[in-house]
Structure 1
Amino acid sequence: MTKKPSASMTYRDAGVDIDAGDALVDRIKPLAARTMRAGALTGIGGFGALFEVPPHLKQPVLVSGTDGVGTKLRLAFEWQRHDTVGIDLVAMSVNDILVQGAEPLYFLDYFACGKLSVDTAASVVAGIAKGCELSGCALIGGETAEMPGMYPDGEYDLAGFAVGAVEKSKIIDGKSIAQGDVVLGLASSGAHSNGYSLIRKILSHANARPSQDLDGRKLEDVVMAPTRIYVKSVLAALAAHEAGIKGLAHITGGGLLENVPRILQPGLAARLHRDAWEMPALFKWLQENGGVADQEMYRVFNCGVGMVVVVDAASADAVTATLRAEGETVSRLGEIVAQGEGPQTFVV
C-alpha cells in the first residue's frame, strides 16, 4: 500500500526554493538594466531575448561564441572569490568573436547550482554585468537552474553565450597574412581562464597560501585577476586601421603555440622572440614552483599575452599607437615567416 505523506509536499521540500529564485531575479534586474544598448528590445525575465540587428550594417553576419570559466571556479569556491568570475565568463566569449571583427551585441548566461545562494549568485551576475559593460554588449537573458543533488553545497557551474555582428566585407579571417607581417601582442591581466588545472596543482605542490605575497600583491588577487576584455580597444584599432590589421588571435586554451596557428594559412609560421615581452611575475612563479618547461608554458598559458594582432609592416607603428592610446600594453612579438619543417608558431 502506498504511504501517503503526513503533509502536502512542496518544491522546497525537494530542495528547490522558488522564492530564492525570484529574489535573485529582483537583485539582478538593475544590474542587467545598466548593460542595455541600442538594439536591445527586451530585458531579462522573458521567455526569449529580442535584439535588433544594427541597421548600419549592409550585409550583417552574426558571429556567436560560447565558453565557461573552467576549473578557475574551484579556486572561487575555495577562496570565496565570486565577484570576478562573471567577468571571466563574458571575456572568454566576447574576445573569441572579436577576432573575426565582430562587435559583441548581447550576452546570455547559464548559472547552475545544487542549492541557490542569492548572495553568491548575485555576486556572480554582478561580474557578468560588469563584463558586458566593459565589452559594450547587453545582458538580455539567461537561466538560473537550481538542481538538488547535482552539485555540492557552495558550488556552481557557469556557461555564457555571446552574439555579435560584423559587416560581411570586413570579416577578419587571416587569409591575407603574408611573410614579413608583424606580430603584435596585447598584454594579459594574468592567466585569464586557462591552465587552471595545472595552476591548482602547482599551488598545492608549493603549499601556497592565498594571502602570501607575489610581486607586492596577494597571491589570490594575482591568480584570480579577471580576464582582460579587448573589445573596445581592438574595435577602435579596426576602425582606424581597417586595411592594416590582417589577423587576430585570442590566446586561450592552448596558449601562444596553439592559438596563433588558427589564423595562419598553410606554409606560414609566426616567429616570436622570447625577449620581446616581459613574462609577468605570476608565470615566473608558476614555472619555478612547478618546474614547468618553457615549451609547456607557451603551450598551456598566455604567458602575459592575451591577444595577438597581425599587421602589415607599414601599419605596425600606427596600429601600436592607437592600441596604446586605447589603454593597451603592446609588444612587438615577432614576424610572419615561411613555415619550413617546423611548427606554425615557435619562440626563439
Structure 2
Amino acid sequence: MTSFKRENPPPTPLSYRAAGVDIDAGDRLVENIKPYAKRTMRPEVLAGIGGFGALFEISKKYRQPVLVSGTDGVGTKLKLAFQAGRHDSVGIDLVAMSVNDILVQGAEPLFFLDYFACGRLDVDTATLVVKGIAAGCEQAGCALIGGETAEMPGMYPEGEYDLAGFAVGVVEKDNIITGLDIREGDAVLGLASSGAHSNGYSLIRKIIEKNGIDLSTDFNGKALVDVIMAPTRIYVKPVLELMRQLPVKGLAHITGGGLVENIPRVLPDGVTAVLKKETWDMPPLFRWLRQQGNVDEKEMYRVFNCGIGMALIVGPDLADRAMRLLQSAGETVWRIGTIRTRAAKEAQTIIE
C-alpha cells in the first residue's frame, strides 16, 4: 500500500501592496496634483514636480540675497479636519504658518515643500489636501516646488494623516527686519485674523468635547465648523507691498503664545508694547470660546490671537499712511498700541 505525505502549500507571494503600501496610488496622487502645482510656478523654477530634487534659481534682481527658511505644521486642528471631513482648507493653513513666519523678517516666499504622512494613502483625501496647499501658495505668490508622500502602515489610525510644510524666502541683506530700531513712541498696528488660525486647537477641542457641542450648530448664520475651520489668513502680498512703500520696523506673526508671547520676539530689550484692548473687537468666536470654556482673559491672550493675526510696528508719523495702504489692499487694520520704554522686570507686552 502506497502512502502519500501531505506537503505544505507554497507560501503566498508577498508584495509591497500586501504589506500596506500602494505604489500605484502614490503615482495617481502625483498625477492628480500636477495641475495644482503648475499654477503656482514662478520663472525661477527650473524643474517641476516628480524629480528627486527641485531646482530654483535666485533672481538677479537681488544684490545681496539672504535666504530665510521656516517650517511648521497644522497642529491638532487636523483632528477636527478628520472629524468634520474638511481636508481642503488645512493645506492653506500649512502654507500660511510658514510663509507668515518668514515674512516677519522681510522675506518674500519663493518656494514651498510639503510632507504628507499616512497609514494608508487615500488618493482623494490627499488630493484635496495638496489642492489646498497649492491654493495657499498662490495666495503667498510662492511655488509649490515639491514634497513627500509617506505611506507608513501601522503608524497612523485609519483615515488620519500628518502634515508638515517648509518655506524658503529671500530678502535683501540690508532690508532684513530685525526690530533693533524700534523706539519709544512707535505705533503698533494689528491686522485682523480670519479666526483661530492654527493655534489653540487642543483647548478648542477640549471645550467642544466637554460641552458636547455639535459642530453643525448655527453660529451667527454659519455652521460652527465653518467658523472654527476657517483657514489661516496669509498676509504676504499686502505686507510686502507695504514694505516697498515705507519702512516697517517690526513684524510679529501671532501664533502659539498669542499676543503676549509673540510680540516680544521682535522687540529689543529696552522697550515694551502696550496694547489697548478696546481698540479692536475680540471676534465672536473668541468671546464664545471664553464663555464656553470659562477661560480666564489673560489665558485667552496667551493662547489665541484674539482677532489679531499679524502685528506691525512703524514710526508714529507713518502709522496712518500704513493703515491706508493696508486697507486699500483689503486688510482690516487697527492701531492697537504704542511702544514705550520698559521698566525693570516689566513684561514686554502689556494688554490694558
TM-score range, shorter chain: over 0.9
Q: Which residue of 2 aligns with 1:275?
A: 278
| Residue type of the alignment partner of 1:339 | R
- Secondary structure class of the residue paired with 1:14: coil
Q: Which residue, 299, 307, 315 being the options, matches 2:310?
A: 307
Q: Please, which moves more after superposition, 124-133 or 202-211?
A: 202-211
d(CA) in 2 for partners of 1:318, 1:109: 37
| 1:30 CA displacement | 0.7
| Residue type of the alignment partner of 2:296 | A
Asked whether the equivalents of residues 104 and 162 of structure 1 are also in contact (C-alpha less than 8 Å), the reply is yes
CA gap 1:168/1:9 in 2 versus in 1, 3 angstroms = same
Q: Which residue, 131, 146, 153 being the options, matches 2:151?
A: 146
- Secondary structure class of the residue paired with 1:275: helix
Matches within 5 A, 1:222-261: 222-241=227-246, 243=247, 245-261=248-264
Is 1:265 aligned with 2:287?
no
Q: Which residue of 1 aligns with 2:25?
A: 20
Count of residue correspondences: 344
Which structure: larger Rg? 2
Cα shift readout 1:205-262 (whole Å, capped 9, x = no counterpart)? 2211111111221100000000000000000100011x3x100000001000000000
Cα shift readout 1:150-203 (whole Å, capped 9, x = no counterpart)? 001100000000000000000001000000000000000000000000000011
CA gap 1:4/1:329 in 2 versus in 1, 3 angstroms = farther
| Residue type of the alignment partner of 2:257 | G
Cα shift readout 1:280-331 (whole Å, capped 9, x = no counterpart)? 1100000000011111000000000000000000000111110111110001
Is 1:50 aligned with 2:37?
no
d(CA) in 1 for partners of 2:89, 2:76: 14
The unaligned stretches of length 5 or more in structure 1 are: none
Q: Which residue of 2 aligns with 1:327?
A: 330
Percentage of identical aligned residues: 65
Q: Which residue of 1 aligns with 2:110?
A: 105
d(CA) in 2 for partners of 1:330, 1:70: 27
Q: Which residue of 2 aligns with 1:82?
A: 87
Q: Please, which moves more after superposition, 6-15 or 96-105?
A: 6-15
- Secondary structure class of the residue paired with 1:13: coil
| Residue type of the alignment partner of 2:291 | E
CA gap 1:293/1:150 in 2 versus in 1, 3 angstroms = same
CA gap 1:5/1:220 in 2 versus in 1, 3 angstroms = farther
Asked whether the equivalents of residues 112 and 145 of structure 1 are also in contact (C-alpha less than 8 Å), the reply is yes
Q: Which residue of 1 aligns with 2:121?
A: 116
Q: Which residue, 198, 202, 205 being the options, matches 1:197?
A: 202
Q: Which residue of 2 aligns with 1:73?
A: 78
| Residue type of the alignment partner of 2:167 | A
Matches within 5 A, 1:331-346: 331-340=334-343, 341-346=345-350
d(CA) in 1 for partners of 2:341, 2:220: 39
- Secondary structure class of the residue paired with 2:74: coil
- Secondary structure class of the residue paired with 2:277: coil
Q: Which residue of 2 aligns with 1:176?
A: 181
- Normalised by the length of structure 2, the TM-score is 0.96
Asked whether the equivalents of residues 43 and 139 of structure 1 are also in contact (C-alpha less than 8 Å), the reply is no
| Residue type of the alignment partner of 1:251 | I
Q: Which residue of 2 aligns with 1:167?
A: 172
- Secondary structure class of the residue paired with 1:252: coil
Is 1:347 aligned with 2:351?
yes
The unaligned stretches of length 5 or more in structure 2 are: 1-7
CA gap 1:5/1:317 in 2 versus in 1, 3 angstroms = farther
d(CA) in 1 for partners of 2:236, 2:135: 14
| 1:4 CA displacement | 8.3
Asked whether the equivalents of residues 214 and 281 of structure 1 are also in contact (C-alpha less than 8 Å), the reply is no
| 1:342 CA displacement | 2.1
Cα shift readout 1:24-57 (whole Å, capped 9, x = no counterpart)? 0010011100100121111110000110011100
Q: Which residue of 2 aligns with 1:295?
A: 298
| Residue type of the alignment partner of 2:126 | A
| Residue type of the alignment partner of 2:349 | T
d(CA) in 1 for partners of 2:9, 2:272: 71
- Secondary structure class of the residue paired with 1:162: strand
- Normalised by the length of structure 1, the TM-score is 0.98
| 1:338 CA displacement | 1.4
d(CA) in 2 for partners of 1:176, 1:335: 15
Q: Which residue of 2 aligns with 1:39?
A: 44
Q: Which residue of 2 aligns with 1:208?
A: 213
CA gap 1:333/1:5 in 2 versus in 1, 3 angstroms = farther
